[in-house]
């Protein structure tokens, strides 16, 4: 008979390493009225068979790197606090680069992670051999040695975290399977009320789903999308090998699909094969504990052979254990973390993608902070559980994507690589034209978007590369068409929300930092802030009529923005109807100095600057179709965004191309969208701005209605503004050398000192070199134009420093004269 309380402030469901870490960190934050429920025994899901690597190298995410560094530090000191050993040993780790592509990637990663405090040394093949003499290193290009990385015992670590939580008052109950998370439904959003364990109900203000490979099915009960899928994961352990000890470094060679470390005097050879196998797509058995799976020898033999060839001694000794067990993976290889969309108090920490142990400490801290303070203190835009889509729950989707996504764990991340499985989930209304025009398609949040165009009837081709590629010529021509003539972009993937009702204007004005409830027929660029004055969304709000609005947000922030608005409507008890109309409306962007002439040929509406000034948005007729036409731009030119009923999109698209032919119109892809907006310094939430930023520090203070009497986050925003110039700013940088390419995470130096890094970048065809947005911090005061001008600036590209120009103002058309002509 279970002895369960009737109430707890927080109930954590799942007793693996993640759940125990959340409990531990909540307790350290002072929240001890916490109940952790484990259906069987702690670690019985996937934690018990984890490989126990505690490695930090390999990420260009500040959040991921910070999570791992924190975890490593915690595991080193946890035993002293709890009296329970974690098995952490900082034996060091060597990451092998087997080719020039991986060397370029790892040098970029190393430069970035050194800036964040990770100790990394690039070493040669002979030095790798000295550190790990069992490996064949003569055909390797280089290695990256992290002396402080190491290994940990996953079961001991979990028990140590559990002991630390219990010592502070947390209750942990094993053998208590949660059958249901209870939610009280509201008009716009629900609220968690507790959990049901058999016939027993435990009331709670917060519930945390840490159920690992069961998270998807538990979440689905409440309409939550957590599309993680279990897959087979393999490792073997050899018999004893002379000289191999617990202090032997970890060795990884992704090109051979393997990682290698000592285990019981033998060698563990772990595998991340390129073609994986999903397991139990129909659902994970609820009573599965300490589970091992029958290995598929035929499928795994080629990958195992290649992994063992890297360390030949593994062929010469016996195999003690050949293990196959389940690990769960998400469709984009990022975890599912955060408060569940439209359910107050329901949090998720799942989908760890085989890095749960090495992430658990930091992730538990982040989630505890999120629960206690109401918001995270790190950038979570890439982890937010709200990013997922219902179609990703489909069994066929999960089965197909999982076979490929596990293989990307050890794949090279050369620019241009993309996933090929589970594609065509959502098709643009004009996809037929994109294909006919030779569009090189890539996935955009489930949509198929054209990156660039090879030409009518031409099949596009591109090889991944870190350098300049042949298709850059097509990209540059599209970019220049927008700057000099006119281009047509399909951006139907953008999120679109219809907001109607008597409280629509008041609701949107309260959540928007800018004033959006003025005259009808105006589009407003604005941010949504939280109570801390930090950015939660970056979008446009169009007032179509007294009680009718259209909100447009980027594809990556679509789910979060919809959730944010519905939560606000619930809190304010607003009389509104919020409808996701993303797939009902195509978005066709006509941009460039000739765009007015093209559009004027298809409408009777007066488009002159006097009659249709910048930020005008009206419902007009174009080519016989009623559309919403907003005079706005994301590329820095005169232009229009047309919101067209999906069924009429082809008609309008074709008419625009025909009318634009005398003006040199071109279909324009997403690579040009990136390069054009980057030259103009336009921001992109989730890429170069995120939930840790405030409007002033990222140059968006102009979009805030400082005189508004009320908006969410107003007090905090005003306090920051009153404090004077910020100590950190988002700045634009431009390489002086036209050859090197910036992508993301390149460290920025001022007078030889690293002061920040590039958050997003592209090639600037008008400016003549790579251009990016970098977040930098002042060394002796605020970041001002004078401070920027007084320094000597460089950017680190794969270990080589290059001179750059730095500016607070856009380097292209700084006065924005071109958009208002």
Q: Which residue shows structure tokens 């290695």?
A: 143
Residue 628 counted as domain residue: no
pLDDT digits (tens, 9 = 90+) for 405-457: 999 999 999 999 999 999 999 999 999 999 999 999 999 999 999 999 999 99
Final residue of a domain: which of 371, 388, 405? 388
Q: Specify burial of residue 242 (Cβ count, 10 A radius: 0-12, 13-18, 19+).
A: exposed
Residue 708 counted as domain residue: no
Residue 699 counted as domain residue: no
Cα of 139 vs its chain's centroid, Å: 34
Residue 255 counted as domain residue: no
Q: What mean pLDDT is predicted for residues 14-35?
A: 98
Q: How much of the chain exceeds pLDDT 70, in percent?
A: 100
Residue 526 counted as domain residue: no
Q: Which two tokens stand for residue 512?
A: 């928007």
**pLDDT higher than threshold 90 for residue 730:** yes
How many C-beta atoms surround the C-beta of residue 385 within 10 A?
29
Residue 31 counted as domain residue: yes
Tell me how far apart the alpha carbons of residues 533 and 190 are, in angstroms, rounded to a whole number: 25
- With cut-offs at 50, 70 and 90, classify the pLDDT of residue 578: very high
Beta strand extents in 530-672 (DSSP E only)? 535-545, 548-553, 577-580, 585-591, 617-622, 625-630, 639-645, 666-667
pLDDT digits (tens, 9 = 90+) for 37-56: 999 999 999 999 999 999 99
Tell me how far apart the alpha carbons of residues 11 and 28 are, in angstroms, rounded to a whole number: 16
Report the pLDDT value the prediction gives residue 546, as an integer from 0 to 100.
Answer: 94
Residue 205 counted as domain residue: yes
Q: What mean pLDDT is predicted for residues 741-746?
A: 98
Q: What mean pLDDT is predicted for residues 595-603?
A: 98
Final residue of a domain: which of 388, 408, 432? 388
Q: What mean pLDDT is predicted for residues 245-267?
A: 97
Instruction: Tell me the CATH number at 737.
Output: 2.40.30.110
CB 528 within 8 A of CB 561: yes
**pLDDT higher than threshold 90 for residue 740:** yes
Question: Taking all residues of the chain, what is their mean pLDDT, rounded to a whole number?
Answer: 97
Report the pLDDT value the prediction gives residue 42, as an integer from 0 to 100.
Answer: 98
Instruction: Tell me the CATH number at 211.
Output: 3.50.50.60
Domain that holds residue 17: 1-91+148-228+330-388
Final residue of a domain: which of 369, 388, 407? 388
Report the pLDDT value the prediction gives residue 297, as an integer from 0 to 100.
Answer: 85
**pLDDT higher than threshold 80 for residue 1:** no
Total domains present in the chain: 2
What are the b/e assignments for 66-86, b being 16+ CB within 10 Å? bbbbbbbebbbebbeebebeb
pLDDT digits (tens, 9 = 90+) for 652-705: 999 999 999 999 999 999 999 999 999 999 999 999 999 999 999 999 999 999
Residue 57 counted as domain residue: yes
Phi, psi of 547 (to 5 degrees): -120, 25
């Amino acid at each position: 008979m279970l002895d369960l309380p009737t109430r707890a402030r927080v109930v954590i469901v799942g007793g693996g390493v993640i759940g125990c870490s959340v409990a531990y960190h909540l307790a350290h934050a002072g929240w001890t009225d916490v109940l952790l429920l484990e259906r069987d025994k702690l670690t019985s899901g996937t934690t018990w068979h984890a490989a126990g690597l505690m490695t930090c190298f390999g990420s260009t995410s500040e959040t991921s790197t910070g999570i791992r560094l924190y975890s490593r530090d915690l595991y080193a000191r946890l035993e002293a606090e709890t009296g329970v050993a974690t098995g952490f040993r900082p034996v060091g780790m060597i990451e092998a680069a087997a080719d020039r592509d991986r060397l370029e990637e790892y040098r970029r990663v190393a430069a970035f992670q050194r800036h964040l405090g990770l100790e990394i040394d690039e070493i040669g093949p002979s030095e790798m051999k000295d550190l790990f003499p069992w490996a064949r290193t003569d055909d390797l290009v280089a290695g990256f040695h992290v002396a402080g990385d190491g290994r940990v015992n996953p079961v001991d670590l979990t028990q140590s975290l559990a002991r630390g939580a219990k010592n502070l008052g947390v209750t942990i109950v094993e053998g208590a399977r949660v059958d249901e998370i209870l939610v009280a439904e509201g008009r716009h959003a629900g609220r968690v009320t507790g959990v049901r364990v058999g016939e027993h109900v435990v009331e709670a203000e917060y519930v945390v789903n840490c159920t690992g490979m069961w998270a998807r099915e538990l979440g689905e009960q409440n309409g939550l999308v957590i599309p993680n899928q279990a897959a087979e994961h393999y490792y073997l352990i050899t018999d004893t090998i002379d000289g191999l000890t617990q202090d032997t470094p970890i060795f990884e060679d992704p090109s051979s699909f393997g990682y290698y470390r000592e285990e019981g005097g033998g060698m563990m050879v772990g595998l991340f094969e390129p073609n994986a196998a999903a397991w139990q797509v129909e659902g994970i058995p609820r009573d599965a504990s300490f589970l091992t799976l029958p290995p598929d020898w035929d499928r795994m033999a080629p990958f195992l052979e290649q992994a063992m060839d890297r360390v030949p001694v593994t062929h010469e000794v016996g195999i003690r254990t050949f293990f196959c067990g389940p690990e769960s993976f998400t469709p984009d290889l990022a975890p599912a973390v955060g408060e569940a969309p439209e359910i107050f108090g329901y949090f998720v920490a799942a989908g760890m993608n085989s890095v749960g142990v090495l992430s658990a400490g930091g992730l538990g801290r982040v989630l505890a902070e999120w629960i206690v303070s109401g918001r995270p203190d790190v950038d979570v835009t890439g982890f937010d559980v709200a990013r997922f889509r219902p179609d990703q729950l489909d069994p066929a989707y999960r089965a197909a994507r999982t076979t490929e996504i596990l293989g990307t764990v050890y794949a090279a991340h050369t620019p241009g690589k993309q996933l090929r499985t589970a594609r065509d989930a959502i098709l643009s209304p004009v996809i037929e034209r994109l294909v006919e025009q030779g569009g090189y398609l890539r996935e955009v949040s489930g949509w198929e978007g054209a990156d660039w165009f090879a030409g009518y009837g031409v099949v596009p081709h591109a090889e991944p590369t870190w350098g300049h590629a042949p298709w850059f010529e097509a990209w540059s021509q599209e970019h220049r068409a927008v700057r000099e003539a006119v281009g047509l972009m399909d951006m139907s993937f953008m999120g679109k929300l219809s907001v109607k009702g008597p409280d629509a204007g008041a609701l949107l004005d309260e959540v928007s930092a800018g004033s959006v409830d003025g005259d009808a027929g105006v589009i407003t660029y604005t941010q949504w802030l939280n109570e801390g004055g930090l950015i939660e969304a970056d979008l446009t709000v169009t007032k179509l009529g007294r009680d009718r609005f259209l909100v447009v947000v980027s594809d990556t922030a679509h789910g979060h923005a919809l959730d944010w608005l519905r939560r606000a409507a619930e809190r304010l008890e607003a009389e509104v109807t919020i409808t996701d109309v993303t797939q009902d409306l195509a978005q066709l962007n006509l941009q460039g100095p000739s765009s007015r002439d093209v559009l004027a040929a298809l409408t009777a509406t007066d488009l002159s600057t006097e009659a249709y000034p910048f930020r005008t948005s009206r419902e007009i007729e174009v080519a016989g179709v009623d559309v919403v036409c907003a005079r706005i731009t994301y590329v820095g030119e005169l232009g229009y965004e047309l919101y067209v009923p999906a069924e009429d999109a082809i008609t309008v698209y074709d008419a625009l191309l025909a009318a634009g032919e005398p003006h040199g119109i071109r279909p324009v892809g997403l690579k040009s969208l990136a390069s054009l907006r980057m030259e103009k310094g336009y921001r992109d939430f989730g890429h170069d701005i995120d939930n840790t930023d405030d409007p002033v520090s990222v140059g968006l203070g102009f979009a805030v209605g400082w005189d508004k009497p009320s908006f969410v986050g107003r007090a905090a925003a005003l306090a920051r503004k009153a404090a004077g110039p910020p100590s950190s700013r988002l700045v634009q940088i431009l390489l002086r050398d036209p050859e090197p390419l910036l992508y993301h995470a390149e460290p920025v130096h001022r007078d030889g000192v690293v002061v920040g890094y590039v958050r997003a970048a592209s090639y600037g065809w008008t400016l003549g070199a790579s251009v990016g947005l970098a977040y930098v911090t002042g060394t002796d005061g605020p970041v001002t134009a004078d401070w920027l001008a007084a320094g000597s600036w460089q950017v680190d590209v794969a270990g080589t420093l290059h001179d750059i120009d730095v500016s607070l103002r856009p380097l292209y058309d700084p006065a924005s004269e071109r958009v208002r002509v």
